[in-house]
Structure formats: structure tokens, C-alpha cells
């Protein structure tokens, strides 16, 4: 299942309903060589070229229910998403 956050389409999305954690990535998760955190507390992963290849969003459903939007602040831009389609209900 794919998910769009801001302007980025993630080709793989896995949701752990028990932990309320959403895992998003493009390509193989092993492509990530640099790891960082966003001010919002999300975990970001980048490839060797500095491209965002993954995001882990803790409390995804809780944030959407409370705030109506998930925001991920990156060093060069802010991504927002107010609709995750069926990904949170797929678990």
C-alpha cells in the first residue's frame, strides 16, 4: 500500500495498530544510511545522496484524530498529510 505525505509518495506503508506506529519507505529499508528525528518526534531516514527514503510516525492515528494532520519537518521543507486513506484501517 502506498501513502503520500506532502509531495512524497512512499511505495511501502506498514501500520502497527497495537503500537500505533506507521512505517513508510521507498526502496529497501537497508538503503538508509543516515537517520534523524523531526521536531515533531518522527524518525526520518535518508539514503547516501541525502534523499528521504523513510519515515516512522509514532502515534499516527492519535495525531490524526487529535490534530487532523500529520506534520513532518525536514531540514529543507515541511510535509503535511491529513488523509492516510485506508492505511490505518488496513491493520
Residue 51 CA, chain-centre distance (Å), reads 14
Rounded Cα–Cα distance for residues 58 and 54 (Å): 13
pLDDT of 85 > 80? The answer is: no
Residue-wise pLDDT tens digits, 3-37: 888 889 999 999 999 999 999 999 887 788 999 99
Please name the residue that has the C-alpha cell 545522496: 49
Torsion, CA 79, CA 84, CA 85, CA 91, rounded to 10 = 150
* Residue-range domain boundaries for the chain: 3-81
What is the pTM (predicted TM-score) of this model? 0.87
Q: Which residue has the higher pLDDT, 1 or 71?
A: 71
Per-residue model confidence (pLDDT) at position 22: 94
Residue-wise pLDDT tens digits, 43-84: 999 999 988 999 999 999 999 999 999 999 998 889 998 888
Q: Which of 79, 82, 90 is nearest to 44 (CA)?
A: 79
Per-residue model confidence (pLDDT) at position 2: 80
pLDDT of 91 > 70? The answer is: no
Amino acid at each position: 500500500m502506498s501513502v503520500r505525505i506532502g509531495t512524497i509518495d512512499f511505495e511501502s506503508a506498514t501500520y502497527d495498530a497495537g503500537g500505533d506506529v506507521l512505517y513508510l519507505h521507498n526502496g529497501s529499508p537497508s538503503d538508509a544510511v543516515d537517520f534523524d528525528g523531526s521536531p515533531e518526534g518522527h524518525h526520518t531516514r535518508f539514503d547516501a545522496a541525502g534523499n528521504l527514503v523513510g519515515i516512522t510516525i509514532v502515534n499516527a492515528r492519535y495525531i490524526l484524530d487529535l490534530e487532523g494532520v500529520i506534520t513532518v519537518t525536514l531540514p529543507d521543507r515541511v510535509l503535511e498529510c491529513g488523509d492516510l486513506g485506508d492505511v490505518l484501517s488496513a491493520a
